Amino acid sequence: MRNILSSFSLACLSALAANTAAGAPQADPPMTDNPFFTESPLPFHLPPFDRIRDSDYVPAFERGMSDQLKEVDAITANPGKPTFDNTIVALERSGRLLNRVNVVFSNLKEANTDDEIERIDGLMAPRLSAHNDAIYLNAALFARVKAVYNQRSTLGLDPESLRLVERYYRDFVRAGALLAESDKTRLKALNAELASLESACSQNILNEKNASSVVVRDRAELAGLSDAEIAGLEAQAKAENKPGAYVIALENTTGQPPLASLGNRALRQRIMEASLSRGSHGGAFDNQATIERIAKVRAEQAALLGYESHAAYRVEDQMAQTVGEVDKLLAQLVSPAVAKARREAADMQAVIDQEHGAFKLAAWDWDYYSEKVRKARYAFDEAQLKPYFELNSVLENGVFFAAHRLYGLTFKERHDLPVYVPDVRVFEVYDADGQPLALLLEDFYARPSKQGGAWMNEYVSQSGLFGDKPVVANHHNIPKPPTGEPTLLTYDEVVTLFHEFGHGLHGMFSHVEYPTFAGTSVPRDFVEYPSQVNEMWAAWPEVVKHYARHYKTGEPMPEALLAKMLSTRKFNEGFETTEYLKATLLDQAWHTLKPDQIPTNVAAFEEATFRRYGADFAPVPPRYRSTYFAHVFYIGYSAGYYAYIWSDVLVADSIEWFQKNGGLTRANGDHFRATVLSHGDSVEPKVLFREFSGGDPEIGPLLRHRGLDEPGN
């Protein structure tokens, strides 16, 4: 019974009946040809996207919940004494139909939503939460789980099976199984409310992103952008029925790509202010009250379960284990990061002064003037790179090339399988022995129906128990060029391709028995580790030379330009680290509050947080402000956004390991696969890291990797 990480979890039929009786919207009648009712006959059980209709979801959810509750009833009604097979494995086998519909619905809600999907999400979220409670707060079921747990050391179980017993017991306890009945009732109400709030938060963020596009009427204001980029903005305007204009659609991060090129300072300011104000300026999609209530409900849940805060509850289940350990890491990084950012700002202010700008560096100036500093210092302009970063070449000659060298993988594009939008590409992945390993879906382009950012998910998780091979998907938000034009990437987008593919490898290489442990089902502060390790190959000279070829001529990137690019890898690292840390501090600040401490002024709370940690440096805004911080208010990273920097400590150690051991070799790849990528969560992450690297991580390599150990920090 794998936990599903989405904007909701599971729900129960009894709650559905109660809600319907109380006047909730009626579900659509079951469809006899519902594609979710049977396992997909497609290769790797790829969902039959061409057959799935919005009207299929509610009937499939209802039958899936009903089926799972019957399976749970069969477990509790079993007259035999509780055993590993008749209780733990039986739970692990339950809910197959519900899982099928949930993974498709949750994934498409993020990747290709519509009004009906948003309506269904709002309808189902509290019901699915109630279903989750109906299982985890079932006293008879917990009694059987506890009985197996109490005798676990005498059952002769293999290590993975023993860990599964311990995982189920822990999950039941953390879900409230030990609470008194009155407290369980209160917890159920909070869980249902939180599910609805998170659904509303998600919809607000997407709708506000789409509504906040910046409209430009005068082409002259776009000076600094290429003709192809301007054509893309013109196409976006036509798509939004604004002919004669140019539309700059916002990404979900605070920073926006055009800011690095636009010479018009007033337009830069307008873009940045539109980005920063999302969800906090009133109107239909204002998110302030929603996130305040989310924080309060989470704090109340934690208090009910006996925890100091939501952060304490969440971190207990991670590698860090305590809030103190997280704070210790952040304290070691904030000061050197901000100090480096201030030095970077001084360099940019010097350029502004030399140009007689007569203004102080602001957040909307950073990207533009950092490029000027980069160009002056390294005789290097970021725009010089894009002709060498054509999407297909980066994917096939970079991402796939590195995977072949490290792991022996090969890739064959499939044009015969259904997808949910035409732009999605499907690849069959073959292992080094030539045997099929997985399906990989690549969804590259931004669209209004898609959430911002980049992410990986699984449509089918690997499992020895069910004989399933993985179907994984990588999602990006790359602006789609006009028809006939190549897709040219920024270097950040190149790195993101490698990053998300690293998550994909974690899913594809999973080799566990139980789906609970499969692939990326690991602690949040470990899940980013394999993906960030894979980023290193984006800048590995042998790999860069293979994929960085001019899209017109096919000529490789000149050695001098490659050398300049590689020499700038620590450039602007003060900004990059500080903007990330400021978002992390917001996450920690919101989720260490008690129920009676929730603020009512979001902007004031944010500023107070930055001052308290010494991060109140206005030219570097947080990567996400609270009102559009999707990671922590509905995606599942609450009190866990620190995971990226925690993982980066492991990554920096690992990069040095690869460098010392010969780099891009099959031996190194096979070692990383065998010790880390194949185990999912079937082994403690700390143990996996020691098996790979031979020791425990230290922060020194991270400081060196980011240039934060330089004099003056």
Give the domain ranges of the chain. Answer: 13-178, 212-276, 323-385+571-705, 393-548
End-to-end Cα, the chain, rounded Å = 49
Give me the sheet containing 471-478, strands edge to edge.
410-414, 425-430, 436-445, 471-478, 455-460
**Using N-to-C axis directions, what is the helix angle for 524-535 and 685-693, rounded to 10°?**
30
Residue range 450-496, pLDDT digits in tens? 988 899 999 999 999 999 999 999 999 999 998 899 999 999 999 99
Measured from the Cβ of residue 319, the count of other Cβ atoms closer than 10 Å reads 21
pLDDT score at 696: 86
**Residues in CB range of 314: below 8 A, 6 or more apart:** 591, 638, 639, 640
Q: Do 174 and 305 touch, CB atoms closer than 8 A? A: yes
What are the residue numbers of the active site? 500
The CATH H-level (homologous superfamily) assignment of domain 323-385+571-705 is: Neurolysin, domain 3 (1.10.1370.10)
Distance CA 583, CA 323 (A): 16
pLDDT score at 102: 97
Distance CA 64, CA 244 (A): 50
CATH number of 393-548: 1.10.1370.40
pLDDT score at 700: 84
pLDDT score at 405: 98
Distance CA 393, CA 318 (A): 37
Q: Can you give 12-32 as a three-state secondary structure string?
A: CHHHHHHHHHCCCCCCCCCCC
pLDDT score at 19: 32
pTM of the predicted model as reported, rounded to 2 decimal places: 0.85
pLDDT score at 534: 97
pLDDT score at 701: 84
**Residues in CB range of 512: below 8 A, 6 or more apart:** 160, 462, 463, 464, 518, 678, 679, 680, 682
User: Quick one: which of 274, 327, 323 has its CA closest to 581?
Assistant: 327
pLDDT score at 710: 67
Residue range 242-268, pLDDT digits in tens? 999 999 999 889 999 999 999 999 999
Distance CA 222, CA 135 (A): 56
Q: How is 501-536 classified by DSSP, letter by letter?
A: HHHHHHHHT---SSGGG-TT-S-HHHHHHHHHHHHG
Of 3.90.650.10, 3.30.1360.70, 1.20.1080.10, 1.10.1370.40, the CATH number of 13-178 is: 1.10.1370.40
Domain 13-178 and domain 393-548 have a common topology:
yes
**Using N-to-C axis directions, what is the helix angle for 57-77 and 96-111, rounded to 10°?**
150
User: Quick one: which of 168, 196, 190, 193 has its CA closest to 303?
Assistant: 190
Amino acid identity, position 668:
N
Residues in the chain where the model's pLDDT stays below 50 = 2-31, 713
Q: Do 285 and 211 touch, CB atoms closer than 8 A? A: yes
